Structure 1
Amino acid sequence: MAYCRGQPHWGAHLADDLERLVHLHDAYGIAAVIVEPVAGSTGILVPPIGYLQRLRELCDRYGILLIFDEVITAFGRVGAAFAAERFGVLPDILTTAKGLTNGVIPMGAVLVREGIYQALMQGPAEAVEFFHGYTYSGHPVAAAAGLATLSAYEEEGSFEQAKALEPRFEEALHSLRDEPHVIDIRNIGLMGGVELAPRAGEPGVRGFDVFRDCFEQGVVIRNGGDTLQFAPFLNSNNEELERTFDCVRNALRRLH
């Protein structure tokens, strides 16, 4: 569905392809399904209504773990602490990073359901339950940055700010619909993608040209091929959004 605001109504049935794979390989050959609740780097692909719920049902039916990669979507990006909360689907394992420390210090975390945790805690009393000898595990500076970031989210109401900004962001994003070369726009929370028609024989060039033009105007966006990707600050204001999309509009109109 082109120019979709929020979750598409079409496409929940695509999750049924998992059942085809189960019949092909047998459920015992599939340990887990790993999915980004909103696919970020591939172009801001928003899950259809019911898609994640259907994955959850199938994983439960066949004894498969459901893992959410929330490196991008966690900590306010979709107007909630986690996309799992926004979409009402509880995974078995959830991975995070980026927003955990505001991206200023490298840190990641893995959250697991109680049954998985208890499974890891079994073993001889003298053995480390879940041994992993990564050099920088539990680094105090990273831990301090994580705690400070989580406190700032709470004190500043960052998730609520992001949720309140979502309608304005959506309108600004979709205002580009009639600009040159735009063939699709999609969004959820403070994540948005504007897809451009690729230049004949030169895929990705138009997207990069817009990125470079905006950079020269003093605004940093991201392009994944010919898809422009947007993820404004959780506490952005209307003036910042207006400036951003004015720059993008100017860049699109200057494209060859």
Structure 2
Amino acid sequence: MNAITEKISLSTDVDMANFWMPFTGNKQFKAAPRILKSAKGMYFTTADDQKVLDASAGLWCVNAGHCRDEITEAVHKQMMELDYAPPFQMGHPLAFEAAKKIAEVMPAGLDRIFFANSGSEAVDTALKMALAYHRARGEGQRTRLIGRERGYSGVGFGGISVGGILANRKAYSGALIPGVDHISHTHNLAEMAYSKGQPAWGAHLADDLERLCALHDPSTIAAVIVEPVAGSTGVLVPPQGYLQRLREICTKHGILLIFDEVITGFGRLGKATASELFGVTPDLLTMAKAMNNAAIPMSGVAASRHVHDAIVNGSAGGAIEFFHGYTYSSHPTAAAACLATQEIYRKEGLFARAAGLAPKFEKEIHALRGEPFVKDIRNLGLMGAVELQSRDGAPGARAYDVFLKCMEKGVLARFTGDIMAFSPPLIVSEGQIEEIFATVKKALHEVA
């Protein structure tokens, strides 16, 4: 155990032997556990009663802040009335109300909502919708799916197949779904370093899709899926004009465009969706995380009318049109949390608040330029990354130590490889933004 981990090892009586933790170095964690016991507003509380400022909204998801009374009360009330209702061949009122409420903030025309339980499930749902759409239209030969290098679209076999995260793909390389290819990612450090907002260079990178169309024949391609802003790979902001060009190419060739907005949805970029911010409407849009403030697992796909109608109207009356769904799709308590969360966003104007805070966030994160080990900084809305120089032979180790130092000083950030990522709840104050990056600065001066 090194000096950093010793300082933040938190006392706990929890027996940790049985829980196999996700995306975690289990041996490392259990040797020096970091246990969170409660949360409220902008703060977690650790097992030893330390207040920790949440600089990552949990996992990009708690946009309205922690333990909101309105959400807690809505979930409790629903649990007392209807704890579960089967979503197959049955319904309950809140499912339809939640779908209507979500449709109201989606891009125009994307108003048919299919519920799932995680971002991974939402992505697999969208991919199946794309295949079903083309089959319903008599173009069943369109089976190829196109993802993007460095993209993250969850951990289902569909998601890791279209995704471009090396570690995720390598672990299951022999079992990925066939008929998938990838366009190049958008990040070029030589051309984009220290960009504020969208880089000016790089719109032409979308033309890599034309290369794949020439290689495979566009009539075999069902869909292209991209994150408007790639989050988990380290906040890769799209170049100016890039998403518009992707939309043009997909429309030209009859290919569906899917935006994976699991991270960017519900205010992260100052709008309800990244689609709204960029003025580019996809055919399918995945969502999760902040749609109900992460209170209860929930996700969804917003489908355009033409996709929905082709599938639903393409089957005989009384038949199941889309052979897909989950036991917990539109779970009553998740729907209750969703409705309460959407009301908080509306009542408190949190999307506009995020847009108003974005300049302050940009100023403070870019103030880290020139600090030890910093090689790049990028941001959009309340979403940013600080990329660090890797240690020789130990990629990711420096960012991990910065993460631990920040935790020791009372700030919870995220790291991926040697990239520190920041995405505070939309209720963050300007003073708290200053505190986050002042803490990162101190941490950078204390690591080797």
Contact 2:295-2:334 at 8 Å conserved across structures? no
Q: Residue 443 of structure 2 aligns with which residue?
A: 251
1:103 positional shift: 1.3
The aligned residue for residue 76 of structure 1 is 267
1:190 corresponds to which of 376, 379, 382: 382
Question: Which structure has the greater CA radius of gyration?
Answer: 2
Range with bigger deviation, 88-97 or 114-123: 114-123
User: What corresponds to 2:369 in structure 1?
Assistant: 177
1:246 Cα deviation after fit: 1.2
Q: RMSD between aligned alpha carbons?
A: 0.8
**Could you report, residue by residue, the CA deviation over 1:18-62 in whole angstroms, capped at 9, with x for unpaired residues?**
000000000122110000000000000000000000000000111
What residue in structure 1 maps to residue 340 of structure 2?
A: 148
Residue 280 (structure 2) aligned to one of 80, 84, 89: 89
Alpha-carbon distance in 1 for matches of 2:320, 2:224: 28
Q: Which runs of 5+ in 2 are unaligned?
A: 1-191
Between the aligned partners of 2:410 and 2:385, the Cα distance in structure 1 is 20
Contact 2:283/2:304 (<8 A) preserved: yes
Equivalent of 1:111, from 267, 281, 302? 302
Pairing 1:161-176 to 2, within 5 Å after superposition:
161-176=353-368
Residue type of the partner of 1:86?
Answer: L
- Taking the aligned partners of 1:18 and 1:49, their CA distance within structure 2 comes to 17
CA distance in 2, matches of 1:131, 1:164: 43
**Residue 174 of structure 1: CA displacement?**
0.3
Q: Alpha-carbon deviations, 1:95-135, whole Å to 9, x = none?
A: 00001011121100101111101012121212133343411
Query: TM-score if structure 1 supplies the norm length?
Result: 0.98
CA–CA distance in 1 between the matches of 2:343 and 2:401? Answer: 39
CA distance in 2, matches of 1:235, 1:138: 27
Report which stretch shifted further, 113-122 or 67-76: 113-122
- Where has structure 1 moved over 2 Å in runs of 4 or more? 128-133
Residue 211 of structure 1, aligned match among 390, 403, 407: 403
- The structure with higher relative contact order (CA 8 Å, sep 6+) is 2
Q: What secondary structure sits across from 2:410 in the alignment?
A: coil
Distance 1:178 1:162 in 2: 27
Where 2:341 maps in the other structure, the secondary structure is helix
Partner of 1:64: 255
**Matched residues in 1 for 2:319 and 2:330: separation?**
19
Q: Does 1:2 align with 2:228?
A: no
Question: 2 CA distance for matches of 1:133 and 1:28?
Answer: 28
1:54 maps onto 2:245 in alignment: yes
* Residues 133 and 159 (structure 1), Cα distance of their counterparts in 2 relative to 1, 3 Å cut: closer
**Alpha-carbon distance in structure 1 between the residues aligned to 2:324 and 2:392:** 49
Which ranges of structure 1 fall in alignment gaps of 5 or more residues?
none
In structure 2, the partner of 1:135 is 327
Other structure's SS at 1:185 match? strand
How many positions carry a matched residue from both structures?
A: 256
| 3-state SS, counterpart of residue 445 of structure 2 | helix
Matched position secondary structure for 2:330: coil
Deviations 1:218-238 (A, max 9, x none): 110000110000001111101
